[in-house]
Amino acid sequence: MIGILQGRLTASTNGQLQCFPSINWKDEFILAKNCKLECIELLFEAVYNPLNPLYTSDGIPVLKKISKETGVRISSVCADYFMQKPLWNNDGNAKKESEKTFKELVLKCNDVDAGILVLPFFEKAEIKTEQDKNSLGEVLSELGEFAKDHSVDVSLEITIPATSLKFFIESLNSKNIGVCYDTGNTTGKGHDISKDIKILGNLINHVHVKDRRKSDYQNVLLGTGDTDFKGAFLAFNNFSYKRAFMLETYRGENPVETAKKHRIFVEKNLQISKSV
């Protein structure tokens, strides 16, 4: 299943790559269908946005309606919110607010049949110390169970060495918490992608597909950067990864035409990996 992150099928409204598509969010479901993309990953921002249906009281029915009409599934939600308001925050009130938002978001995921909640750990939420990791582990022990009770899997997007990440995930002892493996972020950090994927294996429950240059850490069109896609897709195939490949890609000059080319790129690499 190949899908795309919300905001990558239309021009950015604020000049940033990661950007909620404002008044065009409904159009992206139609555009995704026209691009033959099967699913979409919703974006949940740190700042309250009345235009984002995940933030509004009547947004869920609208999301479900347009998903049904277009046949484009809502497979996941990417919670950028927690990059600015970390779950492992040691400030008591901030921590309570983040945990409350997590639970509310899990319920929204359940309402729209999104089986994956992605938690990116970058910016303020970057895991830098063992204390950060331990604090996060304590929080996830409780929140992971809440998500499990509501049929939502949690996917942690953490760019640390694969062996350390594997040990951390396994220490949580929760079958519904796994890894969101981002091919671009790991490339930028100099990881051996195929080795990473072999180490993590079935702990990977979600994939963000992007290409990145090592020299300047910039996102580029798939196949034009330093990401080892051949090795990545072979490794994914070796442990029979069956979940979504989500395009978190550079828009290019024409976002829709770029998305079509990126879908074809992923399909070809999947076919090649299965024929080897």
- Residue 251 is classified by DSSP as -
Q: Is the pLDDT of residue 93 over 80?
A: no
- Cα pseudo-dihedral 60, 17, 168, 137, rounded to 10: -50
pLDDT digits (tens, 9 = 90+) for 46-90: 888 999 999 998 999 999 999 999 999 999 999 999 999 888 776
Q: How many CB atoms lie within 10 A of CB 165?
A: 21
Do the strands 204-209 and 153-157 form a parallel or antiparallel pair, or are they unpaired? unpaired
Among all chains, which residue has been given the structure tokens 């020299």?
215
pLDDT digits (tens, 9 = 90+) for 184-213: 999 999 999 999 999 999 999 999 999 999
Portion of the chain with pLDDT greater than 70, in percent: 98
Do 154 and 176 touch, CB atoms closer than 8 A? yes
Do 255 and 11 touch, CB atoms closer than 8 A? yes
pLDDT digits (tens, 9 = 90+) for 126-147: 888 888 888 888 889 889 999 9
pLDDT confidence bin for 8, thresholds 50/70/90: very high
Set out the domains of the chain in order of their start, with CATH numbers.
2-275 (3.20.20.150)
Nearest Cα residue to 179 out of 166, 192, 161: 166
**E strand or H helix that includes residue 63:** helix 59-70
Q: For position 141, what pLDDT does the model report?
A: 87
- Dihedrals φ, ψ of 65, to 5°? -65, -50
The helix-helix angle for 130-149 and 162-172 (nearest 10°) equals 50
pLDDT digits (tens, 9 = 90+) for 167-189: 999 999 888 999 999 999 999 99
Q: For position 28, what pLDDT does the model report?
A: 96
